[in-house]
Amino acid sequence: MSHSRLRRGVVLVSILVLVATGCGDDDSDDAAPSTSSTTTTTEATTTTAPTTTVADSTTTVPATTTTTTTTAAPSAQCPGDGALPGDAQYATLAGADVDGDGDVDTLHAYATGDPDTPNQWWLQVSFAGGGGSALAVDHPGALLSGVRANDGVDLNGDGTEEFFAKIGAGASTTIMGVFDVIDCALVHVTIEGTPSELTTGATVGSFSGFECLDIDVNGANDFLLVYSGQRLGDSNDFEVTAIQYALVDGELDLILADGLGMTEGDPGFMEFGGEECPNSQPG
């Protein structure tokens, strides 16, 4: 409301007060009844019944609050048992956010069988929200070299982590598998329908490895580059194969395959523009 309207209101009230005062002066005998009426009105105004009613309704609030804060216990995020079996041997521990909920889930690698004579290696995920999933590792090299899970890495920038695990080894190479969780189940990521086996290492006449590629340079991995090289005879020349894969629904899909000719010692030899995937090497 503007100041001019307020002033007009004040003037109008003042005029009404003067008129009322003038009317009272004409008949002084009416002053006493008027005062008595005013006193009666004041006593009615001080009645505390409404205040008592509000107080009574307020006393019901604690009961309502108690009912609201009662909640049911949260259900498990995934089914299954996340605990290690009683006969687990040589267990190792790692972590990865395999479901993308922001909590690190627990990864185990362990063996089962007779004491000190394992006949089966396993990988297991125990979900932070409850439940778990285990997967038998059937690579023939597992019983000789053991199995070990690495911490997680997001291979395709989707906000969930996969992980590498050592599943076998040779004289100068280590075999790593890629593992993922799909619909609460731990799976061995495949390449053309076959469980992934990525070798890393080198000899005098060969080398192999893999790295992560961030093609759009946004800080998230896009592709997995798998490479290998074989020396040509007694020369310093190598025939190199470099293959780009994209991880989709538990499968490494081929995106691009290049055949390269490279010479040992030349600039760029064994350098393909990417960088080693985090947590990808044998532990």
Q: Which pLDDT tens digit goes with each residue over 128-163?
A: 999 999 999 999 889 989 999 999 999 999 999 999
Burial class (CB in 10 A: 0-12, 13-18, 19+), 98: buried
Among 56-70, 99-113, 228-242, the range of highest mean pLDDT: 99-113
User: How do 162-169 and 173-182 pair as beta strands?
Assistant: antiparallel
The number of residues making up the chain comes to 283
Among 49-53, 80-84, 266-270, 277-281, the range scoring the smallest mean pLDDT is: 49-53
Q: How far is CA 159 from the centre of its chain?
A: 7
Least confident range of 74-88, 162-176, 248-262: 74-88
Tally the C-alpha atoms within 13 A of residue 120's C-alpha that lie toward its C-beta: 10
| Beta bridge partner(s), residue 193 | none
From 214, 230, 234, 189, select the one nearest 276 (Cα to Cα): 214
Mean pLDDT of 13-24: 37
Q: How confident is the model at residue 268, as a pLDDT? A: 63
SS3 161: coil
pLDDT at 61 over 60: no
Paired tokens of 71: 């909640």
Structural Rg of the chain based on CA atoms: 40
Q: Where are the beta strands (DSSP E) in the chain?
A: 89-96, 105-114, 117-126, 132-137, 148-153, 162-169, 173-182, 185-188, 190-191, 194-195, 198-202, 206-213, 223-231, 237-248, 251-263
* Average per-residue pLDDT for the chain: 78
Sheet of strand 132-137: strand arrangement? 89-96, 105-114, 117-126, 132-137
The DSSP letter of residue 30 is G
